Amino acid sequence: MTKTLHHRACHLCEAICGLTIETTTSEEAVRITSIKGDPQDAFSRGHICPKAVALQDIQNDPDRLRQPMRRVGSEWLPIEWDEAFALVAERLSAIQARHGQNAVAIYQGNPSVHNYGLMTHSNYFLGLLKTRNRFSATSVDQLPHHLSSHLMYGHGLLLPIPDIDHTDFMLILGGNPLASNGSIMTVPDVEKRLKAIQARGGKVVVVDPRRSETAAIADQHLFVRPGGDAALLFGLLNTLFAEGLTRATHLPVDGLDEVRQAVADFSAESMSPLCAVPAAQIRQLARDFAAADKAVCYGRMGVSTQTFGTLCHWLVQLINLVTGNLDRVGGALCTEPAVDLVASTSGGHFNRWQSRVSGLPEYSGELPVSALAEEMLSEGEGQVRALVTIAGNPVLSTPNGRQLEQALDGLEFMVSIDLYINETTRYADLILPSTSALENDHYDTTFNMFAVRNVSRFNKAILAKPVGALHDWEIFVGLATAFSSLTGQVLKPTMAPAQMIDMGLRMGMYGDASPHQLSLKTLEDFPHGVDLGALKPNLAPRLKTPGQRVQAAPAVILADLTRFAAQRVPAVGELLMIGRRHVRSNNSWMHNYHRLVKGKPRHQLLMHPDDLASRSLEDGQRVQVSSRVGVIEVEVLASLEMMPGVVSLPHGWGHARPGVKTAIASGQPGSSANDLTDERQLDLLSGNAALNGVPVTVAAA
């Protein structure tokens, strides 16, 4: 038996922690014998969470598919790769020939961005489909970030990241990095970094309808009415202007006077009823923020997936801008990654076309996923009749999952590139499973771009690729080849993902023309990753707006103020549902590993004791939760963490569906929050789903 130590970045969430993985080779097999945090990783400094240890469970899971499967009725039978590719090509091209290119829809899920081969190669096939019906998890997540950056800075990926290691004041809205390990802020070891702000005399303030794990360690926590953050942020911005708390910026800016005028009526006092934060607290928060030498306002998932998600993210940018904290050390800074997609891609586009049924806007070629089911269910020209899903589970992750199931059931053809037969892929005619992550190289094209330091690393596969298995990118090449041979399109030869990264590295700012000389080859010398330094101001020369000036008052955003002003005042006695993440869970797909789900369940509804009492409900009892679109049954727990009038339910559960083949998850199924979220509840400006602030009623089951 020989033991080997490997160093690798974890790909499971955005934190990209460095891991040390030990494998033991015997005559029979290579086994993973230990997974630990890597103390020599300069970025993550040994940090690890329980999910990383489950990488071995993903590897060994008997339910994980290892060969292409074809569904015949309710039975799944293995099929050869070539036969599978030919079948997909034949069915999709026939459907497109009969009903037009848009009759095929695409849904791309979250693990896509954690898998670099998927990033570099999926479009090789998907682009050939030439459909306008492209959807992804972006529109149940961070679309408002991209849209506000696209409109203000000219590129949807110019996302300013909190300079957490140098700030004196961090205001967090709708993010719970202690559970999520940070998002659009790649920050391994976030708890230590937040505590370091406090240790150097700074402050952390959290705005959240739940006293989250992050709120619990903050200096101040403010409850906010779900969906009320735009009002709170307007109140803050108005106070900054009205009380003369602004500070000059070195950035060239257009439209600040328009902004000042536009928010003139949104005083803290007038905004308070909409967000349920007392006006005096809004004003004080604005003063505290402005008084800090270096401050940063950071909004995440909880404020992008709400009815005014884009306004929220625009306001977050403005608060940083007018206090002089945008593009400043200790404020919000854009990264300079080794493979720089901002430099190498165009800035994106918005609303060039709309969805057929509801007229929702495209963003950079994608439509909001809330429209996916209706595009399948509404008859007429352009109706979607086939679907390709890639690393996604929209039945559990997009609003009104039950409606989507009904729509999937009516499709003529569906193919899923996925590892499991789960709540979504059980509707597929074919499932094409890729190798597991540890059988694959890894370069993080996405999260190096959002990291709180400029870092880079490339890791080789740890386990050999099994005979007959294909990587995701090879599946796309196979599909593209089969499809193009049928439709007579010419297919260009392609590089492997690693070669593309090598090219990106060498052309980048740390590449051939720099002293770093980064390439795949030189990265081999840095098994623990290479630290390329702290973030620094760089926004002015990187702006991609016409005239290279920050656009503080984009017309489409100002136009949304009318919708904001027209919102209804909160109903008396309203009960609003929000989501929740737990460090042992990851969206919908990591419940099939015993070590992550053992112990007491974590998928209950949390409710304030007063709200339980007023409904004569008891802690621990089964309740029925209803919304406009559906009803589920769950266990309710009394929780003083909750703001009165708000209940919290994590998403990604609801595994008790016929035909799902994930044995451990099915043993602890929970209920799906997205059987309650409403496909019509949107940030209408971007089309992003408003998953938070869903009106519900709760009664005894």
Ligand X SMILES: Nc1nc2c(c(=O)[nH]1)N[C@H]1C(S)=C(S)[C@@H](COP(=O)(O)OP(=O)(O)OC[C@H]3O[C@@H](n4cnc5c(=O)[nH]c(N)nc54)[C@H](O)[C@@H]3O)O[C@H]1N2
Q: Which residues contribute to the site for ligand SF4 (CB under 6 A)?
A: 10, 12-13, 15-17, 48-49, 51-52, 181, 188
Quick one: what does residue 161 bind among Mo ion, ligand X, ligand SF4, none, with the CB cut-off 5 to 8 Å set by partner type?
none
Quick one: what does residue 41 bind among ligand X, Mo ion, ligand SF4, none, with the CB cut-off 5 to 8 Å set by partner type?
none
Q: How far apart are CA 590 and CA 55, in angstroms?
A: 10
Q: How many CB atoms lie within 10 A of CB 53?
A: 18
What are the backbone angles phi and psi of residue 549, rounded to the nearest 5°? -125, 145
User: Which range in 136-144, 221-229, 494-502, 688-696 contacts Mo ion by CB under 5 A?
Assistant: 136-144
Span between the terminal Cα atoms of the chain, in Å? 56
Strands (E), 535-638: 550-551, 576-578, 605-607, 622-626, 631-638
Question: How many Cα atoms sit within 13 Å of 190 on the Cβ side?
Answer: 29
Which residue, 556, 552, 539, 555, is CA-closest to 253? 552
Please identify, using beta-carbon distances, which residue of 225 and 328 lies nearer to ligand X. 225
Q: Which of 37, 255, 394, 630 binds ligand X (CB under 6 A)?
A: 394
Quick one: what does residue 52 bind among ligand X, ligand SF4, Mo ion, none, with the CB cut-off 5 to 8 Å set by partner type?
ligand SF4
Secondary structure letter of residue 186 according to DSSP: B
Quick one: what does residue 239 bind among ligand X, Mo ion, ligand SF4, none, with the CB cut-off 5 to 8 Å set by partner type?
none
Q: How far apart are CA 208 and CA 302, in angstroms?
A: 8
Please identify, using beta-carbon distances, which residue of 133 and 456 lies nearer to ligand SF4. 456
Interstrand relation of 332-333 and 350-354 (parallel, antiparallel or unpaired): unpaired
DSSP 408-469: HHT-SEEEEE-SS--TTGGG-SEE-----GGGS-EE-TTGGGGBSEEEE-EE--SSPPPTT-
Judge contact between 532 and 365, C-beta under 8 A. no
Give the nearest distance from C-beta 456 to ligand SF4 in angstroms.
Answer: 16
Beta bridge partners of 487: none
Nearest residue to ligand X, scored by beta-carbon proximity: 302
Please identify, using beta-carbon distances, which residue of 207 and 634 lies nearer to ligand X. 207
Give the nearest distance from C-beta 564 to ligand X in angstroms.
Answer: 15
Q: How far apart are CA 532 and CA 512, in angstroms?
A: 15
User: Which range in 118-126, 134-142, 415-423, 598-606 contacts Mo ion by CB under 5 A?
Assistant: 134-142
The answer to whether 429 contacts Mo ion (rule: CB under 5 A) is no
User: Which range in 72-80, 236-244, 419-427, 513-521 contacts ligand X by CB under 6 A?
Assistant: 419-427
Q: How far apart are CA 370 and CA 140, in angstroms?
A: 8
Give the nearest distance from C-beta 110 to Mo ion in angstroms.
Answer: 5
Quick one: what does residue 12 bind among ligand SF4, Mo ion, ligand X, none, with the CB cut-off 5 to 8 Å set by partner type?
ligand SF4
The answer to whether 61 contacts ligand X (rule: CB under 6 A) is no
Judge contact between 646 and 608, C-beta under 8 A. yes
Please identify, using beta-carbon distances, which residue of 188 and 309 lies nearer to ligand SF4. 188
Nearest residue to Mo ion, scored by beta-carbon proximity: 141
Q: Which of 446, 454, 587, 688 binds ligand X (CB under 6 A)?
A: 587
Q: Which of 227, 401, 504, 554 binds ligand X (CB under 6 A)?
A: 227
User: Which range in 40-48, 521-529, 585-593, 613-621 contacts ligand X by CB under 6 A?
Assistant: 585-593
Print the binding letters for residues 646-665 with ligand X: x by CB under 6 A, - otherwise: -----xx-------------
Q: How far apart are CA 670 and CA 426, in angstroms?
A: 18
The answer to whether 14 contacts Mo ion (rule: CB under 5 A) is no
What are the backbone angles phi and psi of residue 37, rounded to the nearest 5°? -70, 150
Which residue, 289, 274, 286, is CA-closest to 237? 286
User: Which range in 139-147, 447-455, 597-605, 687-695 contacts Mo ion by CB under 5 A?
Assistant: 139-147
In which element (H, E) is residue 361 found? strand 361-363
Q: Which of 208, 362, 366, 641 binds ligand X (CB under 6 A)?
A: 208
In the three-class reduction of DSSP (H, G, I as helix; E, B as strand; rest coil), residue 333 is classed as strand
User: Which range in 187-195, 370-378, 416-424, 518-526 contacts ligand X by CB under 6 A?
Assistant: 416-424
The answer to whether 529 contacts ligand X (rule: CB under 6 A) is no
Q: How far apart are CA 8 and CA 508, in angstroms?
A: 22
Judge contact between 305 and 230, C-beta under 8 A. no
- Interface size with ligand X, residues (CB under 6 A): 64
Judge contact between 516 and 127, C-beta under 8 A. no
Please identify, using beta-carbon distances, which residue of 51 and 385 lies nearer to ligand SF4. 51
Please identify, using beta-carbon distances, which residue of 336 and 472 lies nearer to ligand X. 472
Q: How many CB atoms lie within 10 A of CB 58?
A: 18
Quick one: what does residue 188 bind among ligand SF4, ligand X, Mo ion, none, with the CB cut-off 5 to 8 Å set by partner type?
ligand SF4
Please identify, using beta-carbon distances, which residue of 41 and 141 lies nearer to Mo ion. 141
Quick one: what does residue 652 bind among ligand X, Mo ion, ligand SF4, none, with the CB cut-off 5 to 8 Å set by partner type?
ligand X
Task: Find where tokens 């499967």 sit.
Answer: 69
Print the binding letters for residues 74-103 with ligand X: x by CB under 6 A, - otherwise: ------------------------------
What are the backbone angles phi and psi of residue 606, rounded to the nearest 5°? -95, 140
Q: Which of 156, 160, 302, 670 binds ligand X (CB under 6 A)?
A: 302
Please identify, using beta-carbon distances, which residue of 15 and 237 lies nearer to ligand SF4. 15
Please identify, using beta-carbon distances, which residue of 183 and 304 lies nearer to ligand SF4. 183
Give the nearest distance from C-beta 182 to Mo ion in angstroms.
Answer: 12
Please identify, using beta-carbon distances, which residue of 111 and 630 lies nearer to ligand X. 111
Total residues belonging to the chain: 701
Angle between helix 279-291 and 229-242 (nearest 10): 60
Q: How many CB atoms lie within 10 A of CB 474?
A: 18
Q: Which of 120, 181, 323, 456 binds ligand X (CB under 6 A)?
A: 181
Give the nearest distance from C-beta 391 to Mo ion in angstroms.
Answer: 12
Region of 69 (left: φ > 0; alpha: ψ -120 to 50; beta: rest) is beta
Which residue, 53, 691, 49, 109, is CA-closest to 422? 109
Q: How far apart are CA 180 and CA 579, in angstroms?
A: 12
Judge contact between 532 and 129, C-beta under 8 A. no
The answer to whether 478 contacts ligand X (rule: CB under 6 A) is no
Q: Give, as ranges, the residues between 237 and 266 that touch ligand X (CB under 6 A).
A: none
The answer to whether 141 contacts Mo ion (rule: CB under 5 A) is yes
For the CA atoms of the chain, what is the radius of gyration? 24
Where does this chain bind ligand X (CB under 6 A)?
13-14, 109-111, 115, 137, 140-141, 173-177, 179-181, 183, 207-210, 212, 224, 226-227, 229, 300-303, 306, 390-394, 397, 417-420, 422, 434, 437, 472, 578-579, 581-583, 585-589, 651-652, 673-674, 677, 691-693
Where does this chain bind Mo ion (CB under 5 A)?
141
